[in-house]
Amino acid sequence: MDKNLLSNRVKTMGESATLTMAQMARDLKSRGVDIVDMTLGEPDFDTPCDIKNAAKKALDEGYTKYTPVPGLPMLRKAIVNKLKRDNNLDYNIDQIVVTNGAKQAIANACLALLNPGDEVILLTPYWVSYDSIVKIAEGVPVLVSAGIDQDFKIKPQQLEAAITDKTKMVMFSSPVNPTGSVYSHEELEGLAKVLKNYPGIYILSDEIYEYINFGSGHASIASFDYIKDRVIVINGMSKGFAMTGWRIGYMAADADVAKSCVKVQSQFTSGANSLGQVASAYALDHGVYKEMIDIFNERRKVFIKLLKEVPGFKVNEPTGAFYLFPDISYYFGKSNGKITINNSVEFSDYMIREAHVASVPGTPFGAQECIRLSYATSMENIIEATKRIKEFVKGFE
């Protein structure tokens, strides 16, 4: 087709970098190349059997019709209970919207709240899709960055300095994809105190990795009462319950914001799938997938130790999600005689071609000095990947 006929919106939209690298890994694998794939953004575990059984039962019980746009009351109730039990947050059922994955909850919120030209501060490194979703809603992403020296976490002064009279929203995740860093209660309080003074700014708090936390527990910025009505809590079933394919996410927000998001969703997709909702209600009522989290933690410890042994890599010790985000900028400008590495895109590209280890460059996460390595893969792969990375970098020292 004539590409000029495509909308400007789609022409300027970036492809998801994580999906692009995962696709490249799959293509090479299908050609017989022995790739160790460290790009994965989903648990390498199956959904627990009892959750699957809840969906099978729902099918037999006739949950096969359209669902209410904001979600089945049984799931919204389970979410209200979960937010109280796990986060000590009080919400009513009319403040909860069930979505087709957390991604849709983020898109709903941006479409419901942003006008063209509104600025959205992204705490950077940020999850790749934030930038694109904001742009689709005609907002303007404003990046506020933190490097590995501050554990990739933004300080209150940095946030305050980025606020203008056009700022409409601040968006971040904790635990953070891609860094694995987790904002503590005190760190969130610092940010909340800044935002207290700006009543026109909404805060989108993406907590999808809440349960994949190996530290001292999860904190939500919604727990600060003085800003709670402006916080949109995003969460979902994909990561914590290994339910990526079920496509169930949710948001908790001020009732008017929730209602506006329902309006947006009603015109795009309607209610989320019925079986997934019944299964999700069961999952939330029955608590965390501890077995999976414990295995992630074992891998995390081994991977940090091994990656720290790679010369030139700066590695922090993240306590959430299932990613490491080493700073590899030591290699910028270095050559192995054949090629010179200038940035993380080139580093990832050469590494998959030469060492057959697939990673995601930091650039699309707003951190061009890093690469993202996922440990949602076997211990065997973690050990093999590190062995290959060590060999790969030798040529560039």
Closest CA to 250 of 238, 241, 267: 238
Supply the minimum distance, in Å, between the C-beta of residue 237 and ligand PLP.
7
Applying the rule CB under 6 A, the residues between 62 and 81 that interact with ligand PLP are none
Burial (CB count within 10 angstroms: exposed 0-12, middle 13-18, buried 19+), residue 345: middle
> From the list 108, 167, 173, 359, which residue makes contact with ligand PLP (rule: CB under 6 A)?
173
> From the list 24, 72, 83, 208, which residue makes contact with ligand PLP (rule: CB under 6 A)?
208
Supply the minimum distance, in Å, between the C-beta of residue 189 and ligand PLP.
22
Say if CB 56 and CB 211 are below 8 A apart: no
SS3 288: coil
Closest CA to 67 of 257, 266, 285: 266
Supply the minimum distance, in Å, between the C-beta of residue 393 and ligand PLP.
27
Does position 249 interact with ligand PLP (CB under 6 A)? The reply is yes
Does position 102 interact with ligand PLP (CB under 6 A)? The reply is yes
How far apart CA 316 and CA 314 sit, in angstroms, is 7
Strand partners, 371: 361
Q: Which is nearer to ligand PLP, 167 or 174 (CB)?
A: 174
Does position 38 interact with ligand PLP (CB under 6 A)? The reply is no
CB atoms within 10 A of CB 382: 23
Say if CB 243 and CB 226 are below 8 A apart: no
Say if CB 340 and CB 195 are below 8 A apart: no
User: Interacting stretch for ligand PLP, rule CB under 6 A, among 7-15, 98-106, 351-359, 365-373?
Assistant: 98-106
Please enumerate in sequence order all residues whose Cβ is within 8 A of that of 193, keeping only pairs 6 or more positions apart, or say none. 156
SS3 213: strand
Does position 238 interact with ligand PLP (CB under 6 A)? The reply is yes
Classify strands 249-252 and 96-99 as parallel, antiparallel or unpaired: antiparallel
Count of residues that interact with ligand PLP, criterion CB under 6 A: 13
User: Interacting stretch for ligand PLP, rule CB under 6 A, among 20-28, 236-244, 254-262, 378-386?
Assistant: 236-244
> From the list 103, 168, 228, 299, which residue makes contact with ligand PLP (rule: CB under 6 A)?
103
Supply the minimum distance, in Å, between the C-beta of residue 102 and ligand PLP.
3
How far lies 41's CA from each of 45, 78, 326, 359, 365, in Å? 12, 26, 17, 11, 13
Supply the minimum distance, in Å, between the C-beta of residue 54 and ligand PLP.
18
Q: Which is nearer to ligand PLP, 364 or 393 (CB)?
A: 364
> From the list 37, 131, 151, 206, which residue makes contact with ligand PLP (rule: CB under 6 A)?
206
> From the list 22, 48, 87, 127, which residue makes contact with ligand PLP (rule: CB under 6 A)?
127
Q: Which is nearer to ligand PLP, 23 or 336 (CB)?
A: 23
Draw the binding track, 309-348, toward ligand PLP (x: CB under 6 A; -: no contact).
----------------------------------------
DSSP per-residue codes, 231-281? EEEEEESTTTTT-GGG--EEEE--HHHHHHHHHHHHHHT-SPPHHHHHHHH
Draw the binding track, 174-203, toward ligand PLP (x: CB under 6 A; -: no contact).
---x--------------------------
Strand partners, 171: 122, 204
**Which residues in this chain contact ligand PLP in the complex, by CB under 6 A?**
41, 101-103, 127, 173, 177, 206, 208, 236, 238, 244, 249
